[in-house]
Amino acid sequence: MLSEIMKKSRKIVIKIGSQILSNEDGTINHNFIEQLCKQVSFLIKEGKQIVIVTSGAMIAGISRTNKWSRKEDMNYKQALCAIGQVELMAAYSSHFSDHDIYIGQLLLTREDFYDEIRTLNMRNTLFTLVDEGIIPIINENDTVSVEQIKIGDNDTLSAYSASLWNADLLILLSDIDGVYDKNPKHHRDAKLLEKIEDIDSLSEEIEIGEANSFGTGGIATKIEAAKIVNNYGIPMILANGKIEDILLKLYNNETRATIFLASEK
Ligand code: ADP
């Protein structure tokens, strides 16, 4: 099923969670980015078009400056994101260039998705970049996004982006194999739900535990993201980015994950 959906999808949005972009000690995981770029390059050779939505700017900022990690003030967090965003893009740029692939950066806010002219511009930029073989890398524009106007988590941002671009598939890479009936980090007997068709009753069936320390959304926003894209007829896969070559394994049906299937319209 996973492989079948991956193979028939041409336009794929991949969201990279903050957990898989960071090492245990809080530094940025270059090995993961290197591996990701290799896998994306393979998918492009298979005829796919890829858009990436990436978290991790704050971790990259802390990793770079080695300070302010405990500051709670918004302006310091935004400053860390501003520093980290550059680091993050430099890492993507350098690893993608090993495969002769260029990247383009799009920093977006909630307001952008509610404004007709802005959405038109965003769509045009996305389509042009992809048509020219360049990989758009999207993140929230933290500098202008104060709490009240923030999308707030990249799960939702990736769902908006997938809808805007008319993607065929959204893949969220987190640090868990998918949605479980309870938080797998705290319950060893948690069971993985591999296929979700009735998303509306899901929240009543499972226990929604906390997100990780750098995670902003947790499982709740991943389910919300699935709702958004399923509504547009786009399926979503939640898979474990900590598994080596996860995208290739999904492609070859060699791993487990959760798939949210959009009902046929
Ligand atoms: P990311 O940074 O990848 O977006 P988050 O920390 O925001 O990751 O969300 C993923 C985390 O959600 C998992 O690592 C897990 O600890 C937690 N979680 C809570 N409840 C569940 C559940 N029912 N199924 C799966 N994960 C859950």
Residues pairing with 15 in the sheet: 53, 172
Residue 175 C-alpha to ligand 1 middle, in angstroms?
A: 7
Residue 118 C-alpha to ligand 1 middle, in angstroms?
A: 32
Count of alpha carbons within 13 angstroms of residue 195, beta-carbon side:
7
3-state secondary structure of 256: coil
Residue 116 C-alpha to ligand 1 middle, in angstroms?
A: 33
pLDDT above 70 (res 213): no
Predicted local confidence at residue 215, as pLDDT: 58
Cα 156 to Cα 163: distance, rounded to the nearest angstrom: 11
Cα 80 to Cα 62: distance, rounded to the nearest angstrom: 6
Position in ligand 1 atom list of the atom nearest CA 186: 16
Residue 121 C-alpha to ligand 1 middle, in angstroms?
A: 33
Confidence tier at 216 by pLDDT (50, 70, 90) = low
Q: Which tokens sit at 18?
A: 């903050």
Residues with CB under 6 Å of ligand 1 are: 17-19, 55, 174-176, 179-180, 182-185, 206-209, 211-212, 215-219
Query: Which residue in this structure is represented by tokens 């680091």?
Result: 87
Predicted local confidence at residue 149, as pLDDT: 63
Predicted local confidence at residue 143, as pLDDT: 86
- CA nearest ligand 1 atom 25, residue: 179
Predicted local confidence at residue 148, as pLDDT: 61
Burial class of residue 20, CB neighbours in 10 A (0-12, 13-18, 19+): buried
- The average pLDDT across 133-151 equals 85
107 — phi, psi (to 5°)?
-105, 120
Across 109-244, where does the E strand assignment appear? 135-140, 169-174, 179-180, 192-193, 195-196, 236-240
Cα 123 to Cα 140: distance, rounded to the nearest angstrom: 16
Predicted local confidence at residue 173, as pLDDT: 97
Express each pLDDT in 81-138 by its tens digit. Answer: 999 999 999 999 999 999 999 999 999 998 899 999 999 999 999 999 999 999 999 9
CA 233, 239, 241, 244 dihedral sign is negative
22: which DSSP letter? Answer: B
Mean of all residue pLDDT scores within the chain:
92
Residue 44 inside a domain? The answer is yes
Count of alpha carbons within 13 angstroms of residue 233, beta-carbon side:
6
- CA nearest ligand 1 atom 10, residue: 218
Residue 106 inside a domain? The answer is yes
Residue 262 C-alpha to ligand 1 middle, in angstroms?
A: 22
Please report, rounded to a whole number, the percentage of residues in the chain having pLDDT higher than 90: 72
Cα 78 to Cα 141: distance, rounded to the nearest angstrom: 9
Confidence tier at 175 by pLDDT (50, 70, 90) = very high
Residue 16 inside a domain? The answer is yes
Q: Which tokens sit at 71?
A: 């500051």
Residue 217 inside a domain? The answer is yes
H and E: helices and strands count for the chain: 11, 10
Position in ligand 1 atom list of the atom nearest CA 180: 24
pLDDT above 60 (res 231): yes
More confident site: 204 or 119: 119
Residue 30 inside a domain? The answer is yes
Structural domains in the chain (count):
1
Confidence tier at 27 by pLDDT (50, 70, 90) = confident
Position in ligand 1 atom list of the atom nearest CA 216: 7
pLDDT above 70 (res 200): yes
- The average pLDDT across 37-55 equals 97
Residue 265 inside a domain? The answer is no
Predicted local confidence at residue 48, as pLDDT: 97
Predicted local confidence at residue 152, as pLDDT: 77
Cα 209 to Cα 183: distance, rounded to the nearest angstrom: 5
3-state secondary structure of 130: helix
Residue 173 inside a domain? The answer is yes
Q: Which tokens sit at 59?
A: 């971790």
Ligand 1 pocket: which of 18, 28, 176, 224 to mutate (most atoms within 8 A of CB): 176
Residue 221 inside a domain? The answer is yes
Residue 212 C-alpha to ligand 1 middle, in angstroms?
A: 7
More confident site: 77 or 45: 45
Predicted local confidence at residue 147, as pLDDT: 67
**Owning domain of residue 61:** 2-260
CATH of the domain at 102: 3.40.1160.10
pLDDT above 60 (res 2): yes
